[in-house]
Amino acid sequence: MRLAIHGSCDPAFAPVRAAFASNFERFPELGAAVCVAVRGRVVVDLWAGFRDAARTAPWGGDTIVNVFSATKGAVALCAHALAERGALDLDAPVAACWPEFAAAGKGRVRVAQLLDHSAGLPALRAEPPEGALYDWQAMTSALAAEEPFWEPGARHGYHAVTFGFLVGEVIRRASGRRVGAFLREAVAGPLGLDLHIGTGAEHDGRIAEVQPTIAGGPGAGGLGGAFAASLRDPASLTSMAFTRPRDLVAPGLVNTARARRAEIPALNGHANARALARMYGALASGGALSDGGARVLSPEAIEAALAERSRGPDAVLLADSRFSLGFMLPSALRPFGRGPRTFGHPGAGGALGFADPDAGIGFCYTPNQPLASGEGGDPRWPALIDAAYACL
């Protein structure tokens, strides 16, 4: 049966539509959406496939899905919005707004070091009690008491889960609101984004079910090597970063009501491609979209947000990585975009959002069928990205 692709596509960007359709033929795709904004205007907004494994619920224009670590880009934007308002100093010690954080020799750790993954807090040494993932106070108190795994600022390592609680608590202390509420106020509301950290029951009927990770076809494979070996060792920093609290490894975690309702800002944002493409489209266009709405960041703040802060061997991922203040930057591990100032964030399920200010592009792809991928990222990305740039 011929794949039905829905949505809109500027004729000049027809190759993106063709690449999107081709991905459903080349890979074990289930449902997905792709959106591209250029100079603040959406030129591609497409979706296809199904929200469920039984293929009974079509992916719709209002479908949202867990975008995993792509959530981190939205959290970073919240921190930068607070900084621009003068409510948060990124160069100040974290303890200035979160006094308890000064414990265990962390009094000099700066907010910027939380954002660029150099703070030395990618994990908790002690296994938290069951249910801690959903207990904001339990997680933030444990992190405030934790001793850094390395001298803050001396190296970096991906704070896969802890990033959300660390930066999220700073946002809460500085704004007086939880990160989900502040996201609605400062980013999603002004830009009209269907983007949530913590979703209510009213959204359940349109959330795509994320499937178990499978082999991805041509060019795909597991991370392998040192990372895989370390992940299997419960005593390793890599394993602690990705499996503590133990709630993280519960089967079907992301599809449970408990996980959807919670605020886990490093990994449980729900959005569609349109939302993140518009968010990054604004950041690629001086902070605002061409169809109106408030400016979420000034051009000067965007430049500060995208500047490289961490580069080289990653203590957790065990490969070279690059980060700015809260955003991942392209590398051999996760290549995306084409311009030298491209910034954004991928997610474990295959989601990817990024901005390229030089090309004026905001891009996002959101699937619900995770594919195993090693160095080079998700195998579905290149054709979509190449097509978008070729159409400029």
Which residues share a beta bridge with 37? 42, 362
Instruction: Return the amino acid letter for 299.
Output: P
In a 3-state reduction of DSSP, which class is residue 361?
A: strand
Q: Are 36 and 13 in contact (CB under 8 A)?
A: yes
**Active-site annotation holder among 8, 69, 285, 290:** 69
Query: Distance (Å, rounded) from C-alpha 22 to C-alpha 264?
Result: 34
Which residues share a beta bridge with 47? 6, 33
- Is 69 a catalytic site residue? yes
Q: Are 56 and 209 in contact (CB under 8 A)?
A: no
State both tokens at 129.
């009690």
The rounded radius of gyration (Å) of the Cα atoms in the chain is 19
Alpha helices in 105-236 (DSSP H): 111-115, 136-145, 162-175, 179-183, 189-191, 225-231
CB under 8 Å to 251, separation ≥6 — which residues? none
Q: Are 43 and 36 in contact (CB under 8 A)?
A: yes
CB under 8 Å to 123, separation ≥6 — which residues? 149, 161, 162, 237, 240, 241, 244, 316
**Number of Cβ within a 10 Å radius of residue 12:** 12
State both tokens at 57.
């619920």
Phi, psi of 365 (to 5 degrees): -130, 130
Closest CA to 392 of 361, 351, 347: 361
Query: Distance (Å, rounded) from C-alpha 71 to C-alpha 41?
Result: 22
Gap between the terminal Cα atoms of the chain: 32
Instruction: Return the amino acid letter for 379.
Output: P
Phi, psi of 242 (to 5 degrees): -100, -10
Instruction: Return the amino acid letter for 369.
Output: Q
Catalytic annotation, residues? 69
